[in-house]
């Protein structure tokens, strides 16, 4: 038995923070940002009430409204996020309540930019065990809540958003294949929020020194991301006995367009096969991969081979192979069927 994605949903805030607006905050240019990152704009949750749970609930609502899904049949929710609503009190609990997932357990998982892939693997194993039938995986982050908009190194990169998928038992031959996940704690100090946890609790000093914002050693993270994603992709293809010619689509973490292109070059995969939406959303951390799945859902066809790869703080990274399965019927498709049936009856 394998698990497969049967429905997708997504949400991004309406407010657009483009590169021109960034140049009014820090010493940079719109052309420089786009050339170095591939980002033209990012979505920001401006409303104080629009926390990570709000973004996640909106993505789940989009999924439920788009497909034939009964929220009461959902048995579990795994939230991948680096920006929970609270340090104590799982954000997933609030999401279950607000989304009407009244029969589902829920918990948070923080693996930063690799969170969605790690959560997908955990959810898939739950389905494969036979003990669960329907689990929703959400990647959601309000990165604007931990970005210092006076720090040119980070404020140009991040945006807010959420993506969600429903996973269920796959039709034989389809579904999530073998996945490889990795971590390397030695890279922790190169990408983190230094204060606010148990190691460095919030204090007047930590606030004055801006230790509650994200810090990144950009050049080191860039090199490590390219090398790690390239290596793990080759490993997972070998593990699944796939070749690069077998790949129909690559869905990479959207951290930097130059990273994505470098990984594509290292794998010798045509860049036309690589799904990219970083120019619209920036790096939404846990949400980048599910937002890509949502944005390009119409391109993924039954039986196609999809390679997903991520890299994030921790360091954490991984890759997964998916033979795209049978999706649930979309509600608008059912409506069209009913309209045709009604027309036939009238004729």
Give the catalytic positions in this structure. Answer: 113, 253, 283
User: What is the end-to-end Cα distance of the chain in Å, rounded?
Assistant: 45
The answer to whether 307 and 285 are in contact (CB under 8 A) is: no
Q: Provide the token pair at 326.
A: 């049978």
Cα three-residue angle 335-336-338, rounded to 5 degrees: 65
Rg (CA), the chain: 20
């Amino acid at each position: 038995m394998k698990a497969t994605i049967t429905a997708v949903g997504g949400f991004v805030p309406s407010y657009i923070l483009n590169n021109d607006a960034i140049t009014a905050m820090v010493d940079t240019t719109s052309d420089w940002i786009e050339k170095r990152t591939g980002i033209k704009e990012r979505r920001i949750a401006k409303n104080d009430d629009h926390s990570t749970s709000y973004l996640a609930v909106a993505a789940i609502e989009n999924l439920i409204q788009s497909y034939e899904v009964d929220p009461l049949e959902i048995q579990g929710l795994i939230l991948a996020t680096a920006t929970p609503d609270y340090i104590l009190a799982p954000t997933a609990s609030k999401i279950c309540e607000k989304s009407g997932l009244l029969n589902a357990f829920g918990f948070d998982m923080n693996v930063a930019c690799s969170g969605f892939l790690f959560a997908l693997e955990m959810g898939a194993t739950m389905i494969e065990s036979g003990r669960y039938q329907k689990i929703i995986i959400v990647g959601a982050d309000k990165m604007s809540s931990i970005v210092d908009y006076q720090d040119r190194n980070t404020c140009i990169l991040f945006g807010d958003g959420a993506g969600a998928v429903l996973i269920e038992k796959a039709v034989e031959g389809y579904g999530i294949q073998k996945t490889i996940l990795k971590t390397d704690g030695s890279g922790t100090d190169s990408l983190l929020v230094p204060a606010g946890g148990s190691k460095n609790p919030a204090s007047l000093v930590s606030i004055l020194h801006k230790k509650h914002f994200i810090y990144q050693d950009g050049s080191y993270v860039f090199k490590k991301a390219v090398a790690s994603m390239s290596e793990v992709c080759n490993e997972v293809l070998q593990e699944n006995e796939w070749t690069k010619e077998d790949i129909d689509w690559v869905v990479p973490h959207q951290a930097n367009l130059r990273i994505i292109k470098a990984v594509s070059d290292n794998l010798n995969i045509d860049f036309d096969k690589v799904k990219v939406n970083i120019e619209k959303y920036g790096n939404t951390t846990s949400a980048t991969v599910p937002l890509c799945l949502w944005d390009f859902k119409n391109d993924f066809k039954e039986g196609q081979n999809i390679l997903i790869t991520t890299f994030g703080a921790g360091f954490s990274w991984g890759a997964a192979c998916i033979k795209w399965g049978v999706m649930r019927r979309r509600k608008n498709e059912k409506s069209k069927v009913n309209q045709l049936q009604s027309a036939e009856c009238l004729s």
